[in-house]
Amino acid sequence: MSGDAIPTIGRGRMRWIPRTPFTLAFSFLVVGVVVLLAFAAPFVAPRDPQAQNLVVGLTTPNSEFWFGTDAVGRDVFSRTIFGARGALIGPVLIALGAFVIGNVLGLLAGYKGGLLDAAIMRWVDLMFALPGLLVAIVLVGVLGSSYALAVIVLLVLTSPFDTRIIRGATLEQRSLPYVEAARTLGVPAPRIMFRHIFPNILPITLPNAFLNFAFSLVALSALSFLGLGVGPGSAEWGRMLAESRLLLFDNPMAALAPGGMIVLTAASMNLVGDWLYERLADRGRAR
Amino acid sequence: MSVRGLALFVLRRLAALAVLLMIISFGVFSLLYLAPGSAEQVLLQGRAVDAATRNEIREAFNLNEPFLQQYRLWVSGAIRLDFGESIRTGEPVLNAILNRMGLTIFLGLYGFIVAMVAGLSLGILAAVKSRTSVDRGIVMFSIVGASAPPFVTGVFLLYLFAVLLGWFPAFGQGEGFADRFWHLTLPALALAFGGAALVVRLTRAGMIGALDQDFVTFARARGLSPRRVLRAYALRNALIPVVNAGALMLAFMLTGAALVEVTFALPGIGALLVESVNFRDLPMVQGLSMVLATVVILVNLATDVIYLFIDPRISYSETTA
């Protein structure tokens, strides 16, 4: 090993992802549009997402309602735009939270070792053995449905994965000369962990945050799809899909639009994360 | 590893399973105890009743006992496979679970087989045709698959094959094997998509790695047929991470089954869990948690045993306490 931060996985044909510049540009575009819509929803959406129009009722897409309306005459197009908010806030919080928790626990476990490492890793092993979303279903369902609770539960279930990855990366760094040099110079352990090792494992942890975003988006929308998390009638993609599922024969757009947005956003985030990973890993090697 | 060693390993793991089940059951029990809304409130649904009726209900569900005594009563029942009665339907919990288990097992196995077959063959194909447009297409498929939750896939499949083309039924679970097979095809495909994506990724990476190894080059140099090199040398080595993913796949299938069953309105145990949780049917949630935990732990054990047969380098005799 030649001081490579990421042996084997970042190298050669193994990690090659067939991604044309077009797919990547498209992914960035999707992510950008979703972020923009989340912030500018009230200005972009042609109608109030909650306004029911019982005179119009259920319609298929037309010039007035681009995606048609749902069972109580709400404009599907506006609701899909407002849905970008729920799709952004929760996953961003989870990705950020898992990044912080994972880094603190992973660096401590990897650098300090010993009893602390053993304790942290037992917890991680336990969480790995659980089917995460099932646990989330029971926890969120029993403790009372709310978006905040769903976010917290998913954060607790996601962070062990980060902890494990970061611990592994820290273990690799710990034996490298720069860490040894810092230790010999008497640099205190917290400073070594957070000022020396942390930036060196960023090429792994930062892209991982993007993958976490994609995962949390899917998990959160799954919970809302099951009626856990957001309340009924919310303009949230998973919830919209659940409520419009039975309208497939009347206005398929009411279900396909939010469903398509979930997949499009998650896939784009995954591709951006993969791209970031390769870029950062390559740059690390060139130095 | 000897047969005796293997038996000891399995026994030790089964003992650990019993301990783990105790911990999980206590966790779920405390959670339900702490949760807002008790069994009596669910039964009463906000109706006003006199104190005697209220007390009768509390007696029936052991709500007048102290917490630990409640748990003890539940455990002594659970050991005799008596998990109490559903608050929602009054049906014994175990009966309700067993009645609905068949559908979920059918759906899960169907989905698992589709995911494995599709994932393995596409993964191998992508590795062999590495860096061609075939590879590109397969990897794009796996990225979309990994990002598409089963309920979205399910709704798109329903729209395409049931609404537009009319090839498959939009709902129902079918009578008899053939009919059920036909009814559960779309749900199984929805369930398999994400799993197949995972298997494709692992198989492709494993195969590309294995094909780069010296022993494969040497096998080729000795003039073995490409088919034999692929099967006996590369694939066997590439399979290890795929088997490891088997356990992960099961967790995925169980969660996925809940979503798919709700999407296609199928009465399986996944849908039962969601209904019970939404209704706060405490005995049912407890019973289901136990059954699901047992299944997950047993499959993890099975995965570890299968490992032994695939990879002779692994031995559990000295590791793990």
Please indicate, yes or no, if residue B83 is contained in any of the structural domains.
no
In a domain? residue B287: yes
Asked whether the beta carbons of A270 and A214 are under 8 A apart, the reply is: yes
- Looking at the domain assignment, is residue B57 inside a domain? no
**Non-local CB neighbours of B295 within 8 Å, separated by 6+ positions:** B250, B254
To probe the interface with A, which of B131, B132, B152 has the most A CB atoms within 10 Å?
A: B152
Residue A135: closest CA among A105, A119, A118, A155: A155
Nearest to B149 among A13, A137, A262 (CB): A262
Minimum CA–CA partner of B206 in chain A: A14
Residue B34 lies in a domain: no
> Closest Cα of chain B to A9: distance in Å?
10
What are residue B92's DSSP bridge partners? B85
Q: Count structural domains, chain B.
A: 1
pLDDT at position B317, please? 55
Distance CA A202, CA A173 (A): 12
Asked if A220 and A238 touch (Cβ cutoff 8 Å), the reply is: yes
Mean pLDDT, residues B166-172? 77
Among A13, A139, A252, the residue with its CB nearest the CB of B163 is A252
Contact A69, A53 (CB under 8 A): yes
Chain B: nearest CA to A81, how far in angstroms?
18
Give the count of Cβ contacts less than 8 A between chain A and B.
Answer: 136
- Test the B interface: residue of A19, A226, A244, A256 with most B CBs within 10 Å: A226
Write the DSSP assignment of A89-117 as a string of letters.
HHHHHHHHHHHHHHHHHHHHHHHH-HHHH
B165 occurs within a structural domain? yes
Q: Domain A21-286's class?
A: mainly alpha
User: From the centroid of its chain, how far is CA A230?
Assistant: 18
Which residue in this structure is represented by tokens 């939009």? Answer: B170
ipTM over 0.85: no
Q: Examine residue B4 and state whether it is found in any structural domain, yes or no.
A: no
pLDDT at residue B183 is higher than 50? yes
Expressed as residue numbers, the domain containing B143 is 100-307
Whether the Cβ atoms of residue B68 and residue B82 lie closer than 8 Å to each other:
no
> With an 8 Å Cβ cutoff, are A138 and B36 in contact?
no
Q: If you average pLDDT over residues B203-222, what whole number do you get?
A: 87
Q: What is the pLDDT of residue B189?
A: 92
List chain A residues with CB under 8 Å of B259. 222, 225-226
Contact A213, A92 (CB under 8 A): yes
User: Is A139 in Cβ contact with B130 (below 8 Å)?
Assistant: no
CA distance A91 to chain B (A): 14
- The model's confidence at residue B46, banded by pLDDT at 50, 70 and 90, is low
Cβ neighbours of B191 in A, within 8 Å: none
Rounded CA-CA distance B208/B235 in Å is 10
pLDDT number for residue A2: 33
Report if residue B255 sits inside a domain: yes
The residue in chain B having the minimum alpha-carbon distance to the alpha carbon of residue A237 is B152
Cβ neighbours of residue A194 closer than 8 Å, sequence gap 6 or more:
A107
Q: Nearest CA to CA, how far is A191 from chain B (Å)?
A: 35
Determine, for residues B280 and A142 on separate chains, whether the beta-carbon distance falls below 8 Å: yes
User: In chain B, whose CA is at the least distance from the CA of A212?
Assistant: B147
Query: Which pair of structure tokens corresponds to residue A183?
Result: 């230790």
DSSP structure class, residue A231: P
Model confidence over B141-161: pLDDT tens digits?
888 888 899 999 999 998 888
Decide if B73 is inside a domain.
no
* Contacting residues for B193 by C-beta, under 8 A, at least 6 apart: B115, B145, B148, B150, B153
Give Cα A280 distance to the centre of its chain: 19
Q: Could you read off the pLDDT of B230-250 as tens digits, one per residue? A: 888 888 888 777 777 776 787
pLDDT in tens, chain A (287 residues): 333 333 333 333 444 455 667 888 899 999 999 999 999 888 887 888 887 877 777 778 887 778 888 878 788 888 989 988 888 999 999 999 999 999 999 999 999 888 999 899 888 887 877 777 888 888 888 887 788 999 999 999 999 989 999 999 999 898 899 999 999 999 999 999 999 999 999 988 999 999 999 999 999 999 999 988 887 778 889 888 888 888 888 888 888 999 999 999 999 999 998 888 888 876 554 43
Q: Which CATH number goes with the domain that contains B146?
A: 1.10.3720.10
State the pLDDT confidence band at B314, using cuts at 50, 70 and 90.
low
User: Where in chain A are the domains?
Assistant: 21-286
A131 vs B136, B156, B296: nearest CB: B296
The partner residue sitting opposite B147, judged by closest CB among A17, A242, A263, is: A263
